[in-house]
A and B are shown apart, each in its own frame.
Chain A
Amino acid sequence: MIALENVTKRYGRQAVVDDVSITFGGEGVTALIGPNGAGKSTLFGLVGRLLQPDEGRITVDGMDVASTPSSELAKVLAVLRQDNHVAARLTVHDLVEFGRFPHSRGRLTLHDREHIEDAIGYLDLGPYRNRFLDELSGGQRQRAFVAMVLAQDTEYVLLDEPLNNLDLRHMAEIMRLIRRMADELGKRVVVVLHDINFAATYADRIVAMRNGIVMADAPAREVMRPDVLAAVYDTPVDVREIDGKPVALYHG
């Protein structure tokens, strides 16, 4: 499990993550929701050791993120950030190969190649394996990055807004994929989402943040309540039941 103990991160005087203590990353899919500026990406940055907390301690399966070698953590925890701009021209295959870096340090073994093939196959990227990343559509590129994370073969997978800039069809596709990764491959996926209906449909558990504080941490259905969502987003949200599933209405 990923555990935060009294973690605080400040930018200037503003606490973006404010004395947070939470344990997450159980089996299945956990969705991290909350308004812009709630501290979701910062939380990911802290767990993914891109940022150092000002106070508190973070552990992944008992390993202290601050003191465990980065290369060891990369074998249990994979993080995909929001913006993945690559300066060099890489093909899909090149990118997925990087997923094996924590294991092989760049010298690929047969075992590494199997993982790469599996990841490419799992994301249906076979036909595009020799395509350059800048020749792919947004959805394909996102899948290529997910394939890299998959090739990393970690128990925990953290995805920061993987649905950004995708259309309806590709959003649903990525979410189905995340669900399959959890169900078939036993990954523990934590995913930052803005569309709470996707969170309700695909996640087992929802963690809701606002102003650097965890407002809710419960099974998806318990978070999908008008009072909880309204408090998290500071805007009226109606929740209706459609075909037995809670659906949030927030469009007006």
Chain B
Amino acid sequence: MLTDPTSTESGALPSAGLHRSRLAASWASPRSRLTVLGAVVLALTAGYLFTDVPGSLAFALRVRGLTVIAMLVVATAVGVSTVVFHTITQNRILTPSIMGFDAFYVLISTVIVFFSGSAAFLAFDQFALWLIQVVVMVGFSVLLFTWLFGGKRRSIHLMLLVGIVLGTFFRSVTEWMQRMLDPLDFQVLSDAMFASLTRPDEALLALTAGLVVLGCALVAPLLRTLDVLTLGEPAAVGLGVDHKRVVMVLFVGVSVMIAASTALVGPILFFGLIVANLAYSYAGSFRHVWTLPAAVLIGMTCLLGGQLVLERLFGFGGTLSTVIDFAGGLFFLYLVLRKGAR
């Protein structure tokens, strides 16, 4: 018979474990936690839509409604893709931006301003720009992926490394071009590079929403498989997961969602890091059935809350992405330092 191997060392531990389980029980199940979060999001949405209406309510609802939908689309894309990306890479301080999505977005806009000037950039057909952005971003990431993961040597880490190097390269090219720009052109370009969720183009919003739904449709059937992927590739393969195929499907879903939402509102991926990590601690479960919706709802809370603070408190005295980047930077440092302390 096996004897209890910790009979000597377990003396202090049971009370700690008991304490924790009691705490966990009082802090309710993932289901009720998410319900609370959902209620918060609904309350914030109502607060954003119905308070402080200057003129016609119908007009305000229309304008603000679009913003809320844009937020939902972006929160879904960023939340889902970051959590999935974390699971695929087995690393929780990465965001998909490491594959150069943001870099490409800025590069494409810079190239347009560089070669045809800011007037042409502002006059550029919104749909064409969005389409170019999406196609280039998805194309690049899928190319990188099939090259470094689809082939015989399947290395996610090599793919990430190449992604970082190429991303840096594109950023350098962008920077070089920006330095050669006319100050006025540069001004226009910098303005365009802050993520903006307010007043989205309706047609583009619909298209983006469609692509994000498509991405979610790719991820949804794999929710339970994603749980197994948290064990790492060897264990997942041992449990009968067709790792290569599953990761491919997930990756395409992530690329499509990220590309569409970045093309709509601008670089916003850093925000995914905060959202995903908050979701892990808040959801109280590692299961993707809970962490994915938690990430989306926390994303909504951040965006709505941030927008409310910005609009009602500061009277539009800044952009939402500045607030998010600032908070995100602090949170990232906290994550790194906490990891180091462990």
Contacts and interface: CB of A to CB of B under 8 A. Distances in A.
A173 B7 CA distance: 14
B228 A173 contact: no
B88 to A, nearest CB: 11
Contacts of B91: 87
Interface stretch (A101-109, A191-199, A208-216): A101-109
Contact of A130 (B21, B86, B223): B21
Contact of A84 (B17, B235, B240): B235
Contact of A90 (B4, B21, B286): B286
B2 interface: yes
A131 B6 CA distance: 13
A247 interface: no
A48 B237 contact: yes
A70 interface: yes
B240 A73 contact: yes
Contacts of B3: 173
A20 interface: no
Interface residues of A, number: 47
A74 B240 contact: yes
Nearest to B289: A106
Interface stretch (A30-38, A75-83, A111-119): A75-83
A84 B230 CA distance: 11
B240 A124 contact: no
A79 B90 contact: no
Given A84-B232, A98-B231, A101-B228, A70 B5 contact: no
B224 interface: yes
B227 interface: yes
Given A123-B2, A137-B9, A177-B2, A70 B286 contact: no
A131 B240 CA distance: 26
A78 B4 CA distance: 26
A187 to B, nearest CB: 15
Given A74-B239, A127-B4, A137-B6, A85 B232 contact: yes
B239 A152 contact: yes
Could you tell me the dominant secondary structure of chain B's interface residues?
loop
A49 interface: yes
B2 A101 contact: no
A176 B2 contact: yes
Interface in B276-309: 280, 286
B185 interface: no
B31 to A, nearest CB: 17
Contacts of A245: none
A85 B91 CA distance: 11
B171 interface: no
Contacts of A137: 5-6, 9
Nearest to B238: A79
B232 A86 contact: yes
Given A74-B240, A101-B240, A106-B224, A86 B231 contact: yes
B33 interface: no
A107 B90 contact: no
Interface of B: 2-6, 9-10, 13-14, 17, 21, 86, 90-92, 152, 223-225, 227-228, 230-235, 237-242, 280, 286
9 shortest interchain CB distances as A-B pairs: A106-B224, A74-B240, A71-B240, A88-B286, A102-B240, A79-B238, A81-B234, A88-B230, A101-B239
